[in-house]
Amino acid sequence: MAEQKEMRAVYAETLTALADQGLEIVVVEADLMRANGTGAFAKKYPARTVNVGVAEANMVGIASGLSAAGKIPFAATFACFASRRAYDQFFLSANYAGLNVKLVGSDPGITAGFNGGTHMPFEDLALMRAVPKLAITEPSDPASLAAILKLAAETYGCFYIRLQRKPADMLYSAEEKFELGKAKVLKKGKDITLIALGAVMVQEAMRAAANLAAQGIEAAVIDALWLAPLDEATILEHCAFGKVITCENHRVTGGLGSAVAELIAEKAPGTQLARIGVGKDSFGEVGTPDWLADHFALTAPHIEKAALSLLGR
């Protein structure tokens, strides 16, 4: 089994390290510091830790004001609240105002698990993708999370960072370099391309690719990392195989599948596309992540089935 690390621990450690380097990081929270694990940062930088209580809209407004005052705020809450509840604040006070706010949505999609449908965002990426200039990322492992947090802190502008709190497999070494809007090709292939976003789906796609390989099918796997800017060059290069499957822990409307569908329609017509994700008419449900992944047809067998169907087998 691959080495794992808790993603929220990486979040707190990285922000602390960035503050140590002299960046004016401010951790902004809405009564989820225990969940997000930012106590370690607060211990070292109490004056730069701002807990607004259970008030997500205000959290984003305050982060915007902190940014206007020259700080680099990382505001975190569950992705359902970061997107649905504080959308107008993030849109206007942060993005439209041209400020430098990093909004972190934790527990995306099925990782909300036992919090159930009320807390299960399958639409946060769709909402965020409608915001001009916003960088949208879902790191897939501890190394990419650390590198992308650093990149976000050092790049002026708004970011939406989807964060799975729980442990994730190490996919990259600590030395791996990451760039804004650049995907990673995790596995080369020639028959079909799987484009996955986030730790859950990248791991399912890798599993599916291994199973397909056992049947003689060479599937490439792309870790998208960024929904915006989308790495069009890498994706289009892989459209040359003629068959693409997007894999997202999100509803199929408005997120990665939609973005790739738009790209294919405009720049690679003729490419066959299947979208793995939560159905367009489904809300979230309560259950274990494993049950939810199977219930919403996000697992490797579902990806394999879609691949075989596209390949006519």
Q: How far apart are CA 66 and CA 62, in angstroms?
A: 6
User: Should residue 84 be labelled a site residue for another protein when binding is judged by CB under 8 A?
Assistant: no
Choose between 75 and 235: whose C-beta lies nearer to another protein.
75
Who contacts 164 (Cβ-Cβ below 8 Å, separation ≥6)?
A: 7, 106, 107, 108, 111, 198, 199, 200
Annotated active-site residue in 3, 13, 29, 56? 56
Min dist. Cβ of residue 60 to another protein (A): 8
Degrees, nearest 5: CA angle 8-9-13: 120
CB–CB of 2/168 below 8 Å?
Answer: no
Q: Residue from 88, 154, 176, 179 that binds another protein (CB under 8 A)?
A: 88
Listed ranges 63-71, 109-117, 182-190, 283-291: which one lies at the site for another protein (CB under 8 A): 63-71
CB–CB of 303/249 below 8 Å?
Answer: no
Site map (CB under 8 A) of another protein, residues 8-47, x = contact: ------------------x--------------------x
C-beta neighbour count of 118 within 10 angstroms:
11
User: Should residue 143 be labelled a site residue for another protein when binding is judged by CB under 8 A?
Assistant: no
User: Should residue 154 be labelled a site residue for another protein when binding is judged by CB under 8 A?
Assistant: no
Q: How far apart are CA 64 and CA 93, in angstroms?
A: 6
Min dist. Cβ of residue 65 to another protein (A): 2
Q: Residue from 66, 194, 217, 264 that binds another protein (CB under 8 A)?
A: 66
User: Should residue 98 be labelled a site residue for another protein when binding is judged by CB under 8 A?
Assistant: yes
CB–CB of 279/295 below 8 Å?
Answer: no
Q: Residue from 17, 33, 40, 57 that binds another protein (CB under 8 A)?
A: 57
Is 138 known to be catalytic?
no
Q: Which residues form the catalytic set?
A: 56
Residues that bind another protein (CB under 8 A): 26, 47-48, 50, 52-53, 55, 57-58, 60-71, 73, 88-89, 92-93, 96-98
